[in-house]
Structure 1
Amino acid sequence: MSLPKARPEPPQTAASPASPTAPAASAAGGEGELQPPQHWTAQPLPEDDDADSTLGDDAASSTASISSSILQYRTINGRTYHSDKGNSQYWAPNDDAQNETLDIQHHVFTLAREGKLYSAPLPDKIEKVVDIGTGTGIWAIDFGNAHPNAQVTGTDLSPVQPSWVPPNVHFQIDDFSQEWTFAEGSVDFTALLKQAYKTLKPGGWVETFDFNGYFESDNGTLTNSMALAQWGIIFRKGAEKLGSTASFTVVRDKLQRKALEASGFVNIQEEALKIPSSGWPKDPKLQEVGRYSRAAITNDVDGSVGLLAGQLGYSVDDVKVYAAHLRRELRSNKVHGYYRGSVVWAQKPSAP
């Protein structure tokens, strides 16, 4: 899931949901026992059945005025990661394979939201928007095209955004876990959303979209020993080993609403998403969401889990074997998995 990249969206932005309806039962929600690397090499790969082809751009380009230190990426097992400037503990690579995954994820979330880019009741003449954790910049570009009179700024750890963008869109390097480089009151969670509160103009909106970094099932088709269930456990335990403060349970723990309340926002509203892990739903729209979801998950498994799995004793070859099991599980459509997302938006009180 990014998948599970825990990435809050910005002041005056972000997302809405349409979700499969199902009872709230959970399966191996990232809390089970970690399987050792030998678990995957000791068992044969399951047979392919009902195999769907995965979806298979150049996302990387340049961003103006970048210091050379930003471009000094770290290389681990042949994959590039953010430079040591800012949050060098971020778990995902910043190369073309992972950037393609981010763009597929964007399509998944847009489909799940029935085409909407955001849910907050933004004014018709919106002036400034910031997309925090913009990734490849695809959301900021789509928003800029839809709102040509708004000035849209996307921020991220790496300059992987394209240079050919709408004239009202620009990008800058910024680590949202540290102090922002924006001036107070200009465009203008708990620390992140307190910064958002400080930066927003009175009456401005903030919208965050996040999702759990693990999968669930309501009918017992997902068990702890399966690769899809182990995904969340690898993320959680690997992040702990890395010493990262990243949370892959933002939605489960309702951290978005709690942080917004603690930061002083009002008019807090939220929508819930349940995104299928593959094309198993009977509903045609959810099938389409699930197929793209599977494409996002399987597009770059090595990049998505490689760094964290490495903290748990996985070799590069171990990760590849694990990835093969994961892809086979998802292609079979027998595992009725999904992950939860949440869109929460709120307003900074208007000036008295």
Structure 2
Amino acid sequence: MADIETQIAIDAAETDSAYNDDDVASDTTSLKSAVLDYKYRNGRRYHAYKEGSYWGPNDEAQADQLDICHHICLLLLDGELYLAPITNNPMRVLDLGTGTGIWAIDFADRFPATEVLGTDLSPTQPSLVPPNVRFEVDDFTESWLFRKESFDFIYARSLYGCVADWPTLYREALDHLQPGGYFEQLEMSVVPKSDDGTVTPDSIFDQWGKISLELGDKFGKSLRTVDESKSGLEAAGFINVVEHRWKLPVGGWPADQRFKEIGQYNRIHWEQGIEGWSLYLLTTVLNWSIEEVQVYLAKMRQGLRDRRVHAYQEVSVVYGQKPPRPRNTDNE
């Protein structure tokens, strides 16, 4: 994947018209029977544990979006689940906000001797999983109850809009890593951009970015995490902090075939996700009516299918290391 400063070449054949409606084939997994009294708003299902603390639905439609996101991340990282230089035999790994559990399951498959724990507000993970992975309902924004220094690797993805106090969360991660262990975070921007001016001021994409950032600010949980995680890890005391950034196209407009495939998946990802990303916050924070939300989303879907718009979002992967325990030099 090209560096963030590189402009993505545009496929000349992808110049006009709109995308046809197409069905997205996605593998679904059997979900656990609900153990919590889920809440329903405007036809979408939400978690009941810590109700209102997270804006995303936990229903099947959003699970499909999360699994598409996982596939996009694998394509973006050339099949890798992480970039941090972790040990070849991690003993315990924690996946914060595990969602459908797909990352934790894949990690457990690749490291069968590793104990993998995924936590989330909703128990919507599959029941048939590798024997070395388990899931718990937990709120990682509260004080952690795990034993200190008990994880070799802690992973987080797409936690934008989930955390009111990032410094405290990063300190908890630092405290619960073994000395020398790593924390890694992948985040996506909610602001579509373009290099050629096709995301114009006051376009629906421009509106989406501005409204999304406003929603996060008013909700008290930043949606700017893609730009904030590196400095957050450094301020918390992590060392050897490394950041990688990419442009993630929205749509099949790139000339490069790898970019084109990723962009096609990402357009589907957006079409699948935009209602869940915005419905709760628009109706509760900005007090929009459901009719206003649906008109807004219809404009977004039209924009997503406009081949003339060469939009992308930015993605960051940041990892940092807990300082190793100082060597005992008394006998040297």
Which TM-score tier does this pair reach, normalised by the shorter chain? Answer: 0.7 to 0.9
Give the TM-score taking structure 1 as reference length: 0.80
Q: What is the CA–CA distance in structure 1 between the aligned matches of 2:215 and 2:318, rounded to whole Å?
A: 28
Of the three residues 198, 215, 224, the one matched with 1:249 is 224
Quote how far apart the aligned CAs of 1:74 are.
Answer: 2.0
1:341-352 to 2 correspondences below 5 Å = 341-352=315-326
1:235–1:211 Cα change, 3 Å: same
1:1-352 to 2 correspondences below 5 Å = 22=6, 49-51=18-20, 53=22, 55-56=24-25, 57-59=27-29, 61-62=31-32, 71-83=36-48, 85-86=49-50, 88-187=52-151, 189-241=166-218, 244-252=219-227, 255-310=228-283, 311-352=285-326
Q: Which residue matches 1:29?
A: none
Q: What is the CA–CA distance in structure 2 between the aligned matches of 1:280 and 1:349, rounded to whole Å?
A: 43
1:239–1:347 Cα change, 3 Å: closer
The letter of the residue matching 2:171 is: K
SS of equivalent residue, structure 2 residue 78: coil
Q: What is the CA–CA distance in structure 1 between the aligned matches of 2:304 and 2:3, rounded to whole Å?
A: 19
Q: What is the CA–CA distance in structure 2 between the aligned matches of 1:107 and 1:119, rounded to whole Å?
A: 16
Residues 137 and 161 of structure 1 are in contact (CA less than 8 Å); yes or no, is this contact kept in structure 2?
yes
Quote how far apart the aligned CAs of 1:106 are.
Answer: 0.8
Q: What is the CA–CA distance in structure 1 between the aligned matches of 2:323 and 2:244, rounded to whole Å?
A: 21
Range 107-116 or range 223-232, more displaced: 223-232
Residues 4 and 245 of structure 2 are in contact (CA less than 8 Å); yes or no, is this contact kept in structure 1?
no
SS of equivalent residue, structure 2 residue 316: strand
SS of equivalent residue, structure 1 residue 210: strand
Q: 1:128-169 deviations in whole A, cap 9, x for unaligned?
A: 111111110011111111111111111111111111111111
The letter of the residue matching 2:32 is: S
Residues 45 and 57 of structure 2 are in contact (CA less than 8 Å); yes or no, is this contact kept in structure 1?
yes
SS of equivalent residue, structure 1 residue 216: coil
Q: 1:233-259 deviations in whole A, cap 9, x for unaligned?
A: 232223344xx221111223xx21222
Of structures 1 and 2, the one scoring higher in RCO (CA 8 A, sep 6+) is 1
Same amino acid, percent of matched pairs: 40
Q: What is the CA–CA distance in structure 1 between the aligned matches of 2:31 and 2:7, rounded to whole Å?
A: 44
Residues 117 and 133 of structure 2 are in contact (CA less than 8 Å); yes or no, is this contact kept in structure 1?
yes
1:224–1:60 Cα change, 3 Å: farther
Quote how far apart the aligned CAs of 1:87 are.
Answer: 6.3
SS of equivalent residue, structure 2 residue 305: helix
Q: 1:3-42 deviations in whole A, cap 9, x for unaligned?
A: xxxxxxxxxxxxxx65575359xxxxxxxxxxxxxxxxxx
SS of equivalent residue, structure 1 residue 164: coil
1:235–1:60 Cα change, 3 Å: farther
Q: What is the CA–CA distance in structure 2 between the aligned matches of 1:179 and 1:305, rounded to whole Å?
A: 28
SS of equivalent residue, structure 2 residue 151: coil
Residues 20 and 275 of structure 1 are in contact (CA less than 8 Å); yes or no, is this contact kept in structure 2?
no
Residues 31 and 127 of structure 2 are in contact (CA less than 8 Å); yes or no, is this contact kept in structure 1?
yes
The letter of the residue matching 2:47 is: H
Residues 52 and 331 of structure 1 are in contact (CA less than 8 Å); yes or no, is this contact kept in structure 2?
no
Q: What is the CA–CA distance in structure 1 between the aligned matches of 2:175 and 2:74, rounded to whole Å?
A: 29
Alignment length (residue pairs): 304
Q: 1:198-232 deviations in whole A, cap 9, x for unaligned?
A: 00111111111112221111111012332222222
C-alpha RMSD of matched pairs (Å) = 2.3
Unaligned residue ranges in structure 1 (runs of 5+): 1-16, 25-46
Quote how far apart the aligned CAs of 1:187 are.
Answer: 2.0
SS of equivalent residue, structure 2 residue 179: coil
Q: What is the CA–CA distance in structure 2 between the aligned matches of 1:312 and 1:59, rounded to whole Å?
A: 35
